[in-house]
Structure 1
C-alpha cells in the first residue's frame, strides 16, 4: 500500500515549480498486482514535466501489458525482461518529447514499478521460512509473500528502499539505494561524453548541465542521454515484523 507522497517548492530559491510526482497504488493500469511511483525533476521550464506527467507512465504501462505469469519475462518482443521494458519506455518517451518540439527543457527521473509476488506453494514457503508463524502467513495460495521493486532512473533523482534487518536482535534498519546518480563529474559519464565528442567543464556537461542523463535536453542529446539505470530487488514481506518502505525523491 502506498503510504503517502508530498511535494514542496522552495519559494526562496525558485519562482516556479518544475517538479512533478505521480503515484498509482496497486491497480496501476488495471493490474491489482502493480503500483507505480514517479518523480520528475524539471529544469529549463515545465514543458518536459508536463509531457512526462502522463506520457511516461502510459508508455511503461504499455510495455508491461504482456508480462508473463512469473512476472519476470514478457511474452512479446523477444521476451524482454521488465528492466528492459522500462529502458524501452524511457527511450520511447524521450523520442516522443523531441517529436513534440520540446527542445530546451529537461528532467531527471526516478520511477518505481512495484509488483506483488503471490504465493503458489505454501509447503515450500514453510520450509524456506522455518517457522510456524511465517508458514501460517503463506498458507493461502492467494497470499502475497513478497514484492519485486523495479527501479529506473535518469540523472540524480533517487529511489531508496528501507527495510528492517531481521537478523539483528535489536531493531535495526538499512537503506538500500535502488537508483544511481548520473552526475556529470562521474568518471564513467565523463568517458562516455568525451567519446561522443563532448566535454565536461567544472562538473557540467559542456559547462552547462550538472547531470549526464535526462529526458528532454534535446539540444545536448548527443551527450546527455536518456538511457536509465535499472535495477530489480525482491523483498520478503510475509509478516508485519519486516517493515518495508521506499522513498522516491528529488531536490
Structure 2
C-alpha cells in the first residue's frame, strides 16, 4: 500500500468509535453467538497540549463459521498516526496469517513483527513516533488470545478476583536487554525510567529513532473463558497509573452494562487526577 493510500485510509476511519457509537468517544455492542457477552468503550482526552493519541477497536466479526471478538487499545506517542494505522490494520494482518486458527499465538507474534517492520518502512508518511498496543481476540466466546507491547493493559475478573493478562514492558525491567543492544535506561528524580532518556516503555510499534534499542516482540497469553469469568478490562496507562487491577474490577462489579462500566472507570480515573489520555474497553460475560 502506497504511503498516500495509508493516510487516506486512516482519514476515512475515525480514531474512536467502532460498533454502535453513542458519542464520538463512546459505544457498545454485543455478540451474535452469545447474548450473554457484551462490550462497551469510552475514551477521554487528557490534559496535555497535544491531540488525543489513543485509539481503540471494539467489535464482533463473523469469519466463516466462527465469531471473533476483536478488542484493542493503541496508545500513541510523538503523534498518533502509528496508532491510527494499527487501529485500521493490525487485526487484518493477524487474520491474514495462514495458521491463525491452528497456532494463533505464533500467528500474532509474526503479524506484530511484520506490522512493525512496515511501520518503520513507511516512516516518511507515518512519522517517527510510535504506539503501545494491547490486543484481545475472543474466539467463539470460549477462548481469549491476549498480546501486548508497552504498558496498555488487559485484566480479567473471575469470581471477583483480578488477574493481569498482559505484561507491563517497563524500561527498568528490561534494562539488561536494552543495554545489550547498545541503549541505556535513565531514571531522573521525579520522573519514570526511560529508554535512552526518552521513551517510558521498553517495547512499542514504530519509534524509528529508538528501534535499535527497543523491542516490538509481544507477550502473548491464552485464557479459557469459563463460568467464573465475569469481565475483561482493557485500558491505556492513563487508567492504570491511578488504579490497581483489583480496584478496577471492584469498581464495576455491580455495573451490568458494559459501556456504562467503561465510562465509570474513565470517570473514576479522572476523579483520581489522571492527566493522561484514558481509553477503556469492558467486555462483560453475564
Q: Which runs of 5+ in 1 are unaligned?
A: 69-73, 75-80, 118-146, 165-172
Q: CA deviation at 1:175?
A: 0.6
Is 1:100 aligned to residue 85 of structure 2? no
What is the alpha-carbon distance in structure 2 between the residues aligned to residue 44 and residue 156 of structure 1? 16
Partner of 1:36: 70
> TM-score, with normalisation over the residues of structure 1?
0.73
SS in 1 for 2:40: coil
Counterparts of 2:204 and 2:194 in 1: how far apart (Å)?
A: 13
C-alpha displacement of 1:82: 1.2
> Which of 172, 175, 179 pairs up with 2:162?
175
Residue equivalent to 1:158? 153
Distance 1:67 1:43 in 2: 29
TM-score by length of 2: 0.64
What corresponds to 2:207 in structure 1?
Answer: 217
Helix, strand or coil: the match of 1:4? strand
Deviation at 1:30?
Answer: 5.0
Report the CA distance shift for 1:31/1:193 in structure 2 as closer, same or farther (over 3 A): farther
Tell me if structure 2 keeps the 8 A contact 1:82–1:150.
Answer: yes
1:39-118, aligned counterparts within 5 Å?
A: 39-63=73-97, 66-68=99-101, 74=102, 81-101=103-123, 102-116=126-140
The runs of at least 4 consecutive aligned structure 1 residues that moved more than 3 Å come to 29-32, 65-68
Structure 2 stretches of 5 or more lacking a match? 1-36, 188-192, 239-286
State the aligned residue count.
Answer: 194
Query: Quick one: distance in 1 between partners of 2:205 and 2:38?
Result: 26
Post-superposition shift, 1:66? 4.5
Mark the CA change 1:109 to 1:115 in structure 2 (over 3 Å): closer, same or farther: same
Q: Secondary structure at the match of 1:51?
A: helix
Residue aligned with 2:135, SS: strand
1:3 is aligned to 39
Q: 1:15 aligns with which of 26, 34, 50?
A: 50
Bigger helix share: 2
C-alpha displacement of 1:243: 4.8
CA distance in 2, matches of 1:25, 1:58: 13
Q: What CA distance in whole angstroms lies between the structure 1 residues aligned with 2:64 and 2:118? A: 24
